[in-house]
Amino acid sequence: MQIQKKVIPLIIGIAIAMGIFIGGKLSFTDSSDRLFTSNSKKDKLNRLIDYIDHEYVDDINTDSIVDVTVNSILDNLDPHSTYIPRRDLQKSTENLQGDFVGIGISFYPYRDSVTVIRPLKGGPSIKAGIKAGDRIIIADGDSIYGPDWSSDAVVNKLKGKKNTKVNLKVYRPTENKILDFKVQRSDVPLISMDAAYMLSKDLGYIKINRFAESTYKEFKKGLDKLQNQGATKLVLDLRDNPGGFMHIAEQIADEFLKDDKLIVFTKNKKGKIVNSYATRKGDFEDGEIFVLINENSASASEIIAGALQDNDKGTIIGRRSFGKGLVQREMALGDGSAVRLTVSRYYTPTGRSIQRSYENGNKDYYYEYYKRIQKGELSNEERIEVADSLKFTTPNGKIVYGGGGIIPDEFVPINLKMENQTIDVILRSGVLDYFVFEDLDANRASFEDITSKGFINNYVVSDEMLQRFNDYYNARARYKITFVAYDEEVKLYIKAKLAEQLFGDEAHTQIINSNDNMLERVNELNAN
């Protein structure tokens, strides 16, 4: 009975969706279209859609029917098969491609104006002379300020075809002038490597936030820089990295593994196995590697951690990873939308699947994170549940487990001073971003001669500034809170946000890392 409840709606839904997308009276000739050849069941459902379209008493939004239907179908498959509506596909694609065409600014819709946080390094705006704090008020003759202009509307206005130009009128508060700029749109990179810097004379650090098409090139450039600075050991930080392109993860893993070492293998519905091996000499095969993971490290992040762990290369440090061992492929649906459909499972070199169970549905699947918290797993290694039936052994005799993420070699509990409910609420609210921007905007001249290094080493957030933020937050947020128990931690986040707006992601990362218990564990291991 339970099977019927799932299967029947699934069959019906698929047929309805395909009928809407493709139509019931089209003639198909090439081989790919034979998947959708007609049969009596589909004919019935296509006819039903026609009846609804032409005869139903109320007007029906066909697009909404499609969206609901497709999402319902995918909900019955697995948690990672997803539908991408036409309106979201471009943004989703750009995020994985690693770039977009635009003018290259980070901005806020601030007090009914488009306020530049900072022009992006190497982008067209910085070349044109646009500065942090500038207000863009007119683009190609259209006013782009006021409550009717959403962030998406502004982005759509400023984006465009490559090499086209946009005429901007910009108000610069520091000069009290309206300035004219002609900015030529070009490729703007979406950086996936947050930081690459030296922790000590021989220990480098790289943090990757996702695996986009550009990530390997970014990583290689960062690795080369660190090696030139003397790095013979490396920390690869994959915390909170949700994944991305599998082949990019394979390329990065290849930098650390000897030739012919198995990186990962996949198995599809038909049982076809595809192996991926380290095929060339990597630049860090002889270097020592520490990989940082946490409960939000997923997919491609787990491929790297699993490949290194199963080949007895380096040390995996942190907490049990997310547990996503499914591979998706994006498939167009013909109307500008697409589906990312799970087409195979991947396995680490020892043969383990790290995919956690989704047999109780998607809601239970994603709630599993909170179950980890309730069990105390994030604070106590002994609370991690493992199954002897999913035990595997590496070539050097190390025991590893499948069935729900990568369990690190060195467990580091969550830092409750830095990661707690109060701070999480503060960061998610976005109020800190606005406070820092306003404070910086009022005193921008005082930071003009400060370098990133000077700021990181010498700038101190005062008690008075902390109190101003507390008052600012309570005046604007839904919940009033006090920071008494976390004063130093909130100061650190204020400083990090200031650094981000002044200098970029790397400065932000360096400041946050100054109070990081996983890096403290790395230093302990490195000293031994």
In the predicted structure, residue 29 carries a pLDDT above the cut 60: no
| Contacts (Cβ under 8 Å, ≥6 apart) of 269 | 343, 344
pLDDT attached to residue 311: 98
Runs of H (alpha helix) within 229-350: 246-254, 300-310
Amino acid symbol at 53: D
Most confident of 21-30, 133-142, 230-239: 230-239
Phi, psi of 410, deg, nearest 5: -125, 110
What DSSP designation does 257 have? Answer: S
Q: Which secondary structure element, helix H or strand E, spans residue 469, and what is its range?
A: helix 463-476
Residues 6+ apart with CB under 8 A from 226: 196, 197, 198, 204, 205, 206, 234
**Residue 17 and residue 20: Cα distance in Å, rounded?**
5
Q: Give residue 363's pLDDT band: very low, low, confident or very high (50, 70, 90).
A: confident
Q: What angle do CA 399, 272, 275 make, to 5 degrees?
A: 50
Q: Which is it for strands 338-347 and 82-84: parallel, antiparallel or unpaired?
A: antiparallel
SS3 call for 225: helix
What number is the average pLDDT over the span 296-305?
97
Is the pLDDT assigned to residue 186 strictly greater than 70?
yes
What does the pLDDT look like over 371-413, one tens digit per residue?
Answer: 888 899 999 999 998 888 999 999 999 999 998 999 999 999 9
Burial class from Cβ neighbours inside 10 Å (0-12, 13-18, 19+) for residue 31 reads exposed
Give which of 102, 128, 105 is closest to 115, Cα–Cα: 105
Give the DSSP letter of residue 408: P
Q: Is the predicted pLDDT of residue 8 greater than 70, yes or no?
A: no
Please give the mean pLDDT across all residues of the chain. 87
Q: Are 109 and 224 in contact (CB under 8 A)?
A: no
pLDDT recorded at residue 158: 86
Which amino acid is residue 59, in one-letter code? D
pLDDT at position 58 is: 80
Q: Where are the alpha helices (DSSP H) in 293-380?
A: 300-310, 362-375
C-alpha closest to that of 165 among 118, 128, 212, 216: 128
pLDDT tens-place string over residues 346-358: 999 999 999 999 9
pLDDT(61) > 60:
yes
123-165 pLDDT, tens per residue? 899 899 999 889 999 999 888 877 777 777 888 888 888 999 9
Backbone phi, psi, residue 512, to 5°? -60, -40
pLDDT tier at 168, thresholds 50, 70, 90: very high
Mean pLDDT of 86-105: 81
pLDDT digits (tens, 9 = 90+) for 455-514: 999 999 999 999 999 999 999 887 788 888 899 999 999 999 999 999 999 999 999 999
The pLDDT tens digits of the residues spanning 236-270 come to 999 999 999 999 999 999 999 999 999 999 999 99
Whether 212 and 98 have beta carbons less than 8 Å apart is answered as yes
- Residue 233 sits at the vertex; the CA angle it makes with 230 and 239, to the nearest 5 degrees, is 120
Mean pLDDT confidence for 185-211: 94
- pLDDT for 46 equals 67
pLDDT band at 4 (very low <50, low <70, confident <90, very high): very low
Q: State the Cα–Cα distance between residues 433 and 463, nearest whole angstrom.
A: 18
| pLDDT score of 13 | 47
Kindly indicate the confidence band of residue 368, based on its pLDDT and cuts at 50, 70 and 90.
Answer: confident
The contacts of residue 58 (CB under 8 Å, 6+ apart) are none
* Own/partner pairs, 57-64, CB within 8 angstroms, 24+ separation: 62/20
pLDDT band at residue 228 using 50, 70 and 90 as cut-offs: very high
| Band of residue 5 on the pLDDT scale cut at 50, 70, 90 | very low
The answer to whether the beta carbons of residues 171 and 130 sit under 8 Å apart is no
The b/e string for 357-374 (b: 16+ C-beta within 10 A; e otherwise) is ebeeeeeebeebeeebee
User: What are the helix (H) ranges across 403-486?
Assistant: 421-429, 431-442, 452-458, 463-476
Asked if residue 303 lies in contact with residue 248, where contact means CB atoms within 8 angstroms, the answer is no
Domains of the chain, start order: 2-76 (no CATH), 99-189 (2.30.42.10), 193-414 (3.90.226.10), 421-526 (no CATH)
- Provide the 3-class DSSP secondary structure of residue 229: coil
Structure tokens at 189: 């990179």
Of 280 and 39, the one with more pLDDT: 280
Q: Which residues pair with 170 in a beta bridge?
A: 136, 179
Q: Which pLDDT does position 45 carry in this prediction?
A: 58
Lookup: tokens for 417? 């001073």
Task: Find, among 524, 350, 444, the residue nearest to 116 by Cα.
Answer: 444
pLDDT band at 54 (very low <50, low <70, confident <90, very high): confident
- pLDDT-derived band of residue 63, with 50, 70 and 90 as boundaries? low
Could you give the CA distance from residue 154 to residue 523 in angstroms, rounded to a whole number?
45
Average of pLDDT values for 334-349?
Answer: 92
Task: Give the tens place of pLDDT for each residue, 137-147.
Answer: 999 988 887 77
**pLDDT above 90 for 17:** no
Task: Tell me the catalytic residues.
Answer: 299, 310, 324
